[in-house]
Amino acid sequence: MDYKNEYERKFVTADEAVKVVKSGGVVHYGEFMMASHVLDAALAKRCDELEGVNIRTVTCPFIPQSVVSDPERKHFVYNDWHFSGASRKLHDKNMCNYIPLTYHEGPSFFDRSWVPVDVALIKVTPPDQHGYVNLGTSNSITHAFCDAAKIVIAEVNESVPRCLGGARETLHVSEIDYFVQGDNRPLIQLPETPISDVDKIIAKIILEQIEDGACLQLGIGAMPNAVGAMIAQSDLKDLGVHTEMMVDSFVDMYEAGRITGLRKQLDKGKMVYTFAMGTNKLYDFLNNNPVCASYPVDYTNEPDIICRNDNMICINNAIEVDLYGQVASESSGTRQISGTGGQLDYIYGSYKSKGGKGLICLTSTFVDSLTVRARCNPALGLL
């Protein structure tokens, strides 16, 4: 019971907590849906007091107030290791840097002390009866950068689902320096991506490549969602899940009885993932669900781990391809779109998997300002 006294003793206001941030320091925000609005807003209030603070994150889904408070970037320098739509808009205005990263290598940067962290600002669940808070929907590299940080500050948010592991999905109260009471706002929900008739045709072709007992990875976007919807309505059996991103369509497939994981060679019966982004349907499904297993990204995305499951079927989108067989999924010409995430890891892992298949799926054309443009080009960067 000692953890309760320690937990209560460590509670401060958000304004008080962020006083530990110093000029020239490095601050790491929580990842994906687990970035804290509350701590970011408190840090933004200190804009005029600070200079040269480097803020790092991975796919923050909102535009931080700290960035808005300093458009000339004298006080806060914002960096994202894998762009979200919000980061992409900021980058277009020269208000966000892209830092190249091969995603599964992320934790090793901290484990090897290559990347310093002064303060970690994260969002967590309240502690359980054993004194452990849960990292929610973003396992990823969060535990690694918290281990490396000199000071860890956690916003406690009761809307965060308790996502079971796996591994390294929790922190003990003793590992956190300050707690801040959050506003308990629900996690951000991804808007539904419209599925076109062409998406459905491509999804039908993909479905023909999937056999009973296959292990699935789905990327983000309309195409993977279309595949998931068709699988849910199919007669496929005993599918498994080992994926980077957990999305709503996995819930549909599980509830339709298509996913059991019983033919997996690794983590049998478990739906393995490193972060989740979707709607409340997904977040409610993950909460305290023992069929789901949250792992750090150096496990989920390590090709030598991925290939240990037979019949890995990895399905991802792309921006364009060229006649040399090169695939662009991260940038369009010189404009950064996202980052080097799971696509590279899973294409290679599926290649090494017995019976595995890595599928890059895209429409042959798209409409840009009423002009039809090709996605298949003689060389990359012609879009």
Q: 179 and 11 in contact (C-beta within 8 Å)?
A: yes
d(CA 320, CA 332): 8
Q: 201 and 171 in contact (C-beta within 8 Å)?
A: no
277 phi and psi, to 5 degrees?
Answer: -140, 125
Does residue 226 sit in helix, strand or coil?
A: helix
Provide CB contacts within 8 A for 358, sequence distance 6+. Answer: 312, 314, 316, 346, 347, 348, 350, 351
Catalytic one among 31, 155, 169, 244? 244
Q: How far is CA 280 from CA 43, 158, 272, 276, in A?
A: 28, 14, 19, 11
Rg over CA atoms, the chain: 21
Q: How far is CA 44 from CA 39, 55, 67, 76, 117, in A?
A: 9, 12, 8, 9, 19
Is residue 244 among the annotated active site residues?
Answer: yes
Q: Which residues are catalytic?
A: 244
